[in-house]
Amino acid sequence: MSAELTEYAGYDHPLSALIAIAEWGEQPAVKALMEEHKTFEFRKINLPIRVFLSHFLSFSADRLEHPEFFCWPGIWKTSGGSKPDRTAVWLRHLSLFADRGDKPGVYPRRWPGRDDRAVKDTFDSFYGSMALYDLTRQWILEEGAFVRDYKWLFENYSQDRADAWAEDTFQQVYGISLSDFRILPAV
């Protein structure tokens, strides 16, 4: 039915993009990335991009294999039937990391089949990258002192701890301390 509707409307079939994405999986670099995804042990270079792309590829593969599930996951998850892997598909596509209703912060999520240490390391590197991107943006585009406000990330927030964490992250990449920057007077 969807083939007839999309052909009549002049659109591509809904699965055509997923088929094209699935073909990427034949490339050695994509195979290596998906191995990282399987173990959650990502290389540090461009880590946020590696994490997001690998999850997008995994999501696309599952959408191609189980299109009915992604049309209406609630009914497929609760209706029984002959597909025992519905819960596994659902679990694979939960948010990467989670917040909690009872306290502030962002937390690593437990992933079936993945080592908790690898998940925590990826979590730490991922959010370290977010701080680095934020500080780099400020360096290039903002005037004045660096703002290091990461209350949204930590359960037991301490400005000193956030400053040290941001400082360390920035210095590892650029080899210069945030405290080495001086604000020049306007001319």
- The predicted structure's pLDDT at residue 78: 77
DSSP state of 178: G
Yes or no: say if 125 and 163 are a contact pair by the CB < 8 Å rule. no
Yes or no: say if 143 and 154 are a contact pair by the CB < 8 Å rule. no
Of 178, 106, 96, which Cα lies nearest the Cα of 144?
Answer: 178
Tens digit of each residue's pLDDT (9 = 90 or more) over 15-71 = 899 999 999 999 999 999 999 999 999 998 899 999 999 999 999 999 999 888 888
Query: Is the overall model pTM greater than 0.75, yes or no?
Result: yes
Contacts of 165 (CB under 8 A, 6+ apart): 128, 131, 150
Tens digit of each residue's pLDDT (9 = 90 or more) over 94-131 = 888 888 888 888 888 888 889 999 999 998 888 888 88
